[in-house]
Amino acid sequence: MGAVGAPGPAQGSVTPGAVGPGPGAVLLSLIPTNRFNKHRTTPGVHTSDISPLLKDPVAFRTLIDLLEDHVKASFPKIDFIVGLDSRGFLIGTPLAQRLGIGFVPVRKKGKLPGATESISYSLEYGKAELEIQSDALEPGQKVVVVDDLLATGGTMCAACELLKRLKAEILECLVIIELKALKGSEKLNSIPFYSLLQYD
């Protein structure tokens, strides 16, 4: 398991358009690597395109295989996978099913019924708000937080704050793609972090 802010033994430093060591290289061998290169859909917004993984059933199955292998090897007991709105749902639900555990969504404001905990946070392009149902987790339950991308880390940090309010134990934050130049993982402080693919 990689420490916060630095690749661990299971992570391979992958530059855009090149296959590097580690499990991420398996994904890059299956799909066009240029589709993962960081780009901006809005000025100041950093993102990457995971649609090739979703379109290709072999690549998507391989992705879930890799995440399942990592989580099983790292943590003997997990209660829930927590997925971030919205691409974290696409990854987190099949991963939870593979692991035989439940899935908990963290959603954008106004999307969840019932009582919720909410948090406002800053993005590259303004403000946003996340919510989780107040009874989604019990104190001490162990969770892994899943999303597709870590850029500046604002959304992931906000989700972790919500989980701390519910007194959940965050085992790790897990993403497919990390944009390392933005240093988002450093904002997670002591929370363990893992990414399959890393770009500068």
Tell me which residues are annotated as active site: 87, 124
Give the number of C-alpha atoms closer than 13 A to the C-alpha of residue 21, restricted to the C-beta side.
Answer: 6
Beta-strand relationship, 126-133 and 193-199: unpaired
Q: Which residues pair with 135 in a beta bridge?
A: none
Which of 93, 126, 131, 95 minimizes the C-alpha distance to 110?
131
| Contact predicate 95/146, CB 8 Å | yes
